[in-house]
Amino acid sequence: TTGTETREFQAEVKQLLNIVIHSLYTDREIFLRELISNAADALEKLRYQKITTKEIADGDLPLEITLELDEDGHTLAITDTGIGMTRDELAENLGTIAHSGSKAFFQYLAEGDKKDVSLIGQFGVGFYAAFMVADEVTVFSRSYNPEAAGCIWTSDGTGSYTLGEAEGLKRGTKIVLRLKEDAHEFAKADVIKRIIKQYSSFVPFAILVNGEKVDTVQALWTKNKKEVTPEEYTEFYKYIANAYDEPLFKLHFSVDAPLAINALLFVPKDHFERLGFGRLEPGVNLYCRKVLIQQQSKEILPEWLRFIKGVVDSEELPLNISRETMQDSALLAKLRKVITGRFLKFLSEQASKDPEKYKEFWRNFSMFIKEGAATDFAYRNDLVKLMRFESSKAGEGELVALQNYVERMKEDQKHIYYINGPTREVIEASPYLEIFWKKEIEVLYTNEAVDDYILSQLGEFEGKKLVSVDQAELDLPEGETDTPDRETLSQEQFEKLAGWLKEVLGKKIVEVRESKRLEDNPAIVLNQDSFTSSMQRMMQMANK
Ligand code: ADP
Ligand code: MG
């Protein structure tokens, strides 16, 4: 098609726009951050194309972002000389939502107690934030592909958009917002400059407002650690993670061997996956000499580290590498190994340096460490060391590592014992623990079936077998109190009782045994195979 046409938005987009247009919001100025970040993305992509592609439309245009404000006409225009969009790309990118972002965002808005539309960028639908302040948005775009014609897209955000051809456009994208009556302030230069400073100060391209250049800051990760202030780190974190608070952890490092890497990684304070609002996308961008190669790279870290935000820059990545060959690239595998190893080492250092802070980390991010320990064999041994448990010898709120347990094991104790239960109270009321109280042997408490899965897969830690206390064979150290000085059943009485129990319980049990581990409780159910009760429950559920 070449003529002008009107098209309906995809249903998800309509729903999203309806929320964006009608919701009350305090931070609507973030629309500008979203548009500038799209412009910067488009420029980064262009920079990449310049290195790899011969023919680029308007090859001499400077790479920059220009804002033109018309206070009297109540419009704001933002122009970039980036990669641009073809007609099809306009329809695809600004009319449909291909990824799961919008669904997670709706769910978040519907269920969250704080209805914060400003998180829109984190869900990958940032462009539509323009409709928070504009009642009409017009996009002029011309692709870097010299063959493609310039196009115009326009919409009032209510249900459809029009798409047509436009003459005389230079490469890149110009977005014109007709500001709503209550949003006229966004045509004021001082307001816009303040917002740019606040949200976009690390954009690595010149930004001009009505012809005047706004100061931006250089790529922090390439700087020397000693030259970066804590405030700069925090600002950078806010920029790359679309965050509003400080990060919990920061790791800035460079290595020369086996690969030259500059990396700046952050752990946020919290994340929405923990609350059940969808799955986090990877948060680390891959650069080569400040040129973006891959945004939110899936290759640079294992999936279970998807909560990390940051930047990895390696000079050794060839720029003209395609994504397909990158996936198999041995180079990337090497990068991933170095960065993962470095990050896990960092976590374990933090855990001993500042246990309280590590506890905060564990509270919100344990699910990822466990996911890794359960699924990623290569890192299991490192990850179990980062796991923390409640225990029979730890006070309320205190957490124990396997290492702590082993260090304070009784001399004649051979194994590491653990028990699963939903809460500390339930576990401590359990008859399984009776013998351990009596013998003063520490038992670790696990709260989730995945804990038991990990421990049983692990089998042993530092040469000590990991044993669930509901196993029949405990192999406890012997003690003087083992034979209670009270009346016991005669052989005949025991056999009669056992026979009756077998008759009543039938196939539910394998055998009835006389036990030495009980004192106050008359009987307990034990496991003979290597699956703990919590894992059996999990398997039963899976089989249903
Ligand atoms: P995201 O940036 O997370 O992908 P957005 O809703 O902000 O989500 O943008 C959707 C898509 O529209 C982008 O991925 C990009 O392909 C395209 N796009 C938006 N703005 C521009 C622009 N200025 N230049 C080129 N493409 C753009
Ligand atoms: Mg965006």
| 238-263 residue pLDDT tens | 888 888 889 999 999 999 888 889 99
Three-state secondary-structure class, residue 95:
coil
Three-state secondary-structure class, residue 259:
coil
CA distances from 130 to 2, 27, 127, 224 (A): 27, 12, 6, 37
DSSP string of 99-134, one letter each residue = STHHHHHHHHHHH-SS--GGGGGGGT-GGGGGGGTE
pLDDT-above-70 percentage for the chain: 88
Structure tokens at 49: 């194309």
Cα separation of the two ends of the chain: 53
85 is in an annotated binding site: yes
Three-state secondary-structure class, residue 9:
coil
Lowest pLDDT segment from 40-54, 62-76, 89-103: 89-103
Separation CA 311–CA 290 (nearest Å): 10
pTM here?
0.67
Ligand number nearest to the C-alpha of 93: 1
Decide if pLDDT at 321 tops 50: no
> How far, rounded to the nearest angstrom, does the alpha carbon of residue 93 sit from its chain's CA centroid?
24
Cα(169) to ligand 1 centroid in Å equals: 19
Amino acid present at 431: P
Name the residue among 162, 170, 154, 9 with its Cα closest to residue 84.
170
pLDDT of residue 185: 97
pLDDT of residue 114: 53
Identify residues whose C-beta is under 5 A from ligand 2, the ion. Answer: 38, 126
pLDDT-above-90 percentage for the chain: 54
Decide if pLDDT at 316 tops 80: no
Burial string for 135-153 (b: 16+ CB within 10 Å, else e) reads ebbbbbbbbbbeebebbbb
Cα(277) to ligand 1 centroid in Å equals: 23
Q: Which atom belonging to ligand 1 lies closest to the Cα atom of 121?
A: 3
328 is in an annotated binding site: no
pLDDT of residue 23: 67
Q: Which atom belonging to ligand 1 lies closest to the Cα atom of 80?
A: 23
Residue with the nearest Cα to atom 10 of ligand 1? 93
CA distances from 191 to 76, 180, 186, 337 (A): 12, 16, 6, 45
Structure tokens at 391: 């225990």
38 is in an annotated binding site: yes
> Number of helices and strands (H, E) in the chain?
16, 19
Max mean pLDDT among 224-228, 383-387, 410-414 falls in 383-387
* Sheet with 249-255: strands ordered across: 249-255, 261-267, 309-314, 283-288, 291-294
Ligand number nearest to the C-alpha of 102: 1
Average pLDDT over residues 26-50: 88
125 is in an annotated binding site: yes
Q: Which atom belonging to ligand 1 lies closest to the Cα atom of 172?
A: 24
Cα(125) to ligand 2 centroid in Å equals: 6
Ligand number nearest to the C-alpha of 39: 1
Decide if pLDDT at 180 tops 90: yes
Tell me the best of 41, 63, 128 to mutate to test the pocket of ligand 1, counting ligand atoms within 8 Å of each CB and taking the most.
41
232 is in an annotated binding site: no
Decide if pLDDT at 305 tops 60: yes
Decide if pLDDT at 508 tops 60: yes
Ligand number nearest to the C-alpha of 296: 1
Amino acid present at 440: E
Residue with the nearest Cα to atom 9 of ligand 1? 127
424 is in an annotated binding site: no
Burial string for 362-381 (b: 16+ CB within 10 Å, else e) reads bebbbebbbbbbbebeebbe
Burial string for 505-537 (b: 16+ CB within 10 Å, else e) reads eeeeeeebeeeebbeeeeeeebbeeebbbbbee
354 is in an annotated binding site: no
Decide if pLDDT at 418 tops 80: yes
Residue with the nearest Cα to atom 21 of ligand 1? 38
Q: Which residue has the tokens 């629309």?
A: 31
Element (H, E) at 163: strand 160-165
Structure tokens at 301: 């870290």
Q: Which residue has the higher pLDDT, 330 or 370?
A: 370
* Sheet with 206-209: strands ordered across: 5-8, 160-165, 151-155, 134-142, 172-179, 75-80, 64-70, 206-209, 212-214
Q: Which residue has the higher pLDDT, 431 or 102?
A: 431
395 is in an annotated binding site: no
Reported confidence tier of residue 494, pLDDT bands at 50, 70, 90: confident
Check if the interface score ipTM surpasses 0.85. yes
Amino acid present at 405: Y
Q: Which residue has the higher pLDDT, 494 or 383?
A: 383
Contact 374, 457 (CB under 8 A): yes
Ligand number nearest to the C-alpha of 125: 1
Q: Which residue has the tokens 């005389």?
A: 168
Reported confidence tier of residue 143, pLDDT bands at 50, 70, 90: very high
Residue with the nearest Cα to atom 4 of ligand 1? 124
Q: Which residue has the tokens 């623990």?
A: 433
Q: Which atom belonging to ligand 1 lies closest to the Cα atom of 175?
A: 23
Q: Which atom belonging to ligand 1 lies closest to the Cα atom of 84?
A: 25
Tell me the best of 49, 63, 102, 127 to mutate to test the pocket of ligand 1, counting ligand atoms within 8 Å of each CB and taking the most.
127
493 is in an annotated binding site: no
34 is in an annotated binding site: yes
Cα(34) to ligand 1 centroid in Å equals: 9
How does DSSP classify residue 28? T
Residue with the nearest Cα to atom 19 of ligand 1? 38
Residue 504 makes CB contacts below 8 A (sequence gap 6+) with none
Question: Which neighbouring-strand residues pair with 263?
Answer: 253, 312
Question: Which neighbouring-strand residues pair with 287?
Answer: 292, 313
Cα(177) to ligand 1 centroid in Å equals: 16
Separation CA 369–CA 377 (nearest Å): 12
Residue-averaged pLDDT of the chain: 87
Cα(232) to ligand 2 centroid in Å equals: 23
> How far, rounded to the nearest angstrom, does the alpha carbon of residue 188 sit from its chain's CA centroid?
37
Decide if pLDDT at 85 tops 70: yes
205 is in an annotated binding site: no
Lowest pLDDT segment from 75-89, 108-122, 289-303: 108-122
How does DSSP classify residue 135? E
Tell me the best of 45, 86, 93, 155 to mutate to test the pocket of ligand 1, counting ligand atoms within 8 Å of each CB and taking the most.
93
Q: Which atom belonging to ligand 1 lies closest to the Cα atom of 39?
A: 23
How does DSSP classify residue 434? H
Q: Which atom belonging to ligand 1 lies closest to the Cα atom of 124?
A: 3
pLDDT of residue 52: 85
Question: Which neighbouring-strand residues pair with 310?
Answer: 265, 284
101 is in an annotated binding site: yes
Tell me the best of 20, 38, 177 to mutate to test the pocket of ligand 1, counting ligand atoms within 8 Å of each CB and taking the most.
38
Question: Which neighbouring-strand residues pair with 461?
Answer: 464
pLDDT of residue 100: 57
Which residues lie with the beta carbon below 6 Å from any ligand 1 atom? 34, 38-39, 42, 80, 82-85, 93-94, 124-127, 173
Residue with the nearest Cα to atom 20 of ligand 1? 38
Average pLDDT over residues 444-458: 92
Separation CA 15–CA 109 (nearest Å): 12
Separation CA 164–CA 139 (nearest Å): 11
Ligand number nearest to the C-alpha of 127: 1
In Å, the largest CA–CA distance within the chain is 103
Q: Which residue has the higher pLDDT, 482 or 154?
A: 154
Contact 384, 344 (CB under 8 A): no
Separation CA 41–CA 47 (nearest Å): 10
